[in-house]
């Protein structure tokens, strides 16, 4: 379930970031509402993801996916330039998240401690 919530959080963050350009410095009402609402909902969903996923892992995926998607939107929708060096940066951003995920136990939940005699709470 946390992967689905994280996906929606990423999509909302990308939407909000894309609306920043259209808000023209928060002078356009509906793009501004999109920015505020998108970021608020994105952080709300991310906060629920953090109940079951380590913050470092969740934030790395959230921010890297958002960065890559916004770069793509800038290129396609806003006709922004994308240089070879920037493309290398995008590839390295993706590689960063892959390497964090391959790290293994960094995102595994610790085993709960066995209760000891006399540790019961009444």
Q: What confidence category does residue 118 fall into, taking pLDDT thresholds of 50, 70 and 90? A: low
Choose between 110 and 75: higher pLDDT: 75
Query: Which pLDDT score is estimated for 107?
Result: 45
CA distance 8 to 117: 44
Count the residues in the chain.
122
Q: Among residues of the chain, what percentage have pLDDT more than 70?
A: 84
pLDDT in tens, 40-55: 999 999 999 999 999 9
Round to whole Å and give the CA distance between 4 and 61. 13
The lowest-confidence range among 6-10, 11-15, 94-98 is 94-98
When pLDDT is averaged across residues 26-34 and rounded to a whole number, the result is: 97
Q: What is the pLDDT of residue 103?
A: 81
- Residues 98, 99, 104, 105, Cα dihedral to 10°: -110
pLDDT in tens, 46-96: 999 999 999 989 999 999 999 999 999 999 999 999 999 999 999 999 998
- pLDDT at residue 102 in the model: 84
């Amino acid at each position: 379930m946390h992967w689905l919530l994280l996906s929606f959080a990423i999509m909302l963050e990308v939407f909000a970031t894309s609306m920043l350009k259209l808000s023209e410095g928060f002078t356009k009402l509906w793009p501004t509402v999109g920015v505020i609402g998108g970021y608020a909902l994105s952080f709300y969903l991310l906060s629920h993801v953090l109940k079951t996923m380590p913050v470092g892992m969740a934030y790395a995926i959230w921010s890297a996916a958002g960065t890559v998607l916004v770069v793509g939107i800038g290129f396609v929708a806003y006709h922004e330039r994308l240089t070879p060096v920037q493309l290398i940066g995008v590839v390295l951003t993706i590689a960063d998240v892959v390497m964090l995920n391959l790290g293994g136990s960094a995102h595994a939940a610790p085993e709960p401690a066995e209760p000891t005699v006399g540790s019961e709470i009444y």
